[in-house]
Amino acid sequence: MPRWQTTAPGRHRASPATLGRMESGPSPHVVILGGFLTEPFMYAKLHDRLLARGAASVTVAPIHIIDWLAAGLAGLGPLSIRSGLAIRRAHRRTGGQPLLVIGHSGGGLLARLALSPVAYQGRRAAVGDAVGCLVTLGTPHGMARARLRWRHDGVDAAAFLDRAAAATPPGDATTPIITVASNAVADITWAAASRRARLQNAPYRFVVGPIGPAGGDGIVGVELAHLPGAHQVTLRDATHGTLGPRWYGESGQVDQWWPVAVDRWRAALASRP
């Protein structure tokens, strides 16, 4: 197994400054769910950065490009079960402590489907007891509300999650969610956009919707990436994909959302029996 896919506690040492911050409470075991058409190795640097910042262990779920392509035919139901199994295995391996789950892009939708106590497409992972906090990075939660001509499987999943959230009375949700978005890219006005900008943005506009007035990360707009009721973190210069110097998993960006995630995870841990 690659060293970045699952790392046991004690394999990496945090810096003295990081250890000082982490000594104030327990350290989370982390599971990363990758985004649409990504491979686990794309999160190797994020894996190492979280360990360096005091995570007890980090597991990158074994979800591959071929799995996403299969989901285009079978829907996201089977992939949500695979995500739930990855979470459940990590939960058992780390002694039963609730995990901190990080979902990048479409991985955030998979995480929410796995957490849902209601079956989706006849499948139910229901791993809420195994997760102390969920962090989503540029996840298009609001696709069902976007102006999309193509109602693909991701839109169906987002609509299902919207209905499930609406049916949950305030205060009944047991897993806190942190939604991380970015307004690095200003509103793209289609009529005034250059030909190059149209060509670059057209595929994403078709899949996740246009970037609104609040800006976005180059693919997902701020309004789509934030969930009502979630703790919302908006970065100024993060970009969506795992390539490039400014994506959500780069050091400067991680330092903005990771401390918030750890604090929320610890608070959730303290509130559970």
pLDDT tens for 69-85 read 999 888 899 999 999 99
- Please indicate, yes or no, if residue 11 is contained in any of the structural domains: no
| Tokens matching residue 158 | 């987002």
- Please indicate, yes or no, if residue 2 is contained in any of the structural domains: no
pLDDT tens for 140-188 read 999 888 776 667 788 899 999 999 888 765 444 679 999 999 998 875 5
* Number of domains making up the chain: 1
What CATH code is carried by the domain that includes residue 139?
Answer: 3.40.50.1820
Q: What is the structure's pLDDT at 212?
A: 79
Count H helices, E strands: the chain?
A: 9, 7
**3-state SS class at 246:** coil
According to DSSP, residue 174 is labeled -
Is 133 a residue whose pLDDT tops 80?
yes
Angstrom distances, CA of residue 268 to CA of 135, 261, 262:
13, 11, 10
- Please indicate, yes or no, if residue 9 is contained in any of the structural domains: no
**3-state SS class at 33:** strand
Note if the pTM is more than 0.75: yes
- Please indicate, yes or no, if residue 184 is contained in any of the structural domains: yes
Residue 103's domain comprises 28-271
Q: What is the structure's pLDDT at 90?
A: 97
Helix axes 106-115, 153-166, angle to 10 degrees: 40
Q: What is the structure's pLDDT at 87?
A: 98
Angstrom distances, CA of residue 91 to CA of 25, 29, 96, 98, 133:
19, 8, 5, 7, 13
CA distance 106 to 44: 18
- Please indicate, yes or no, if residue 164 is contained in any of the structural domains: yes
- Please indicate, yes or no, if residue 16 is contained in any of the structural domains: no
CA distance 240 to 49: 18
Q: How many CB atoms lie within 10 A of CB 52?
A: 15
pLDDT tens for 1-60 read 565 556 544 333 344 444 444 557 899 999 999 999 999 999 999 999 999 999 999 999
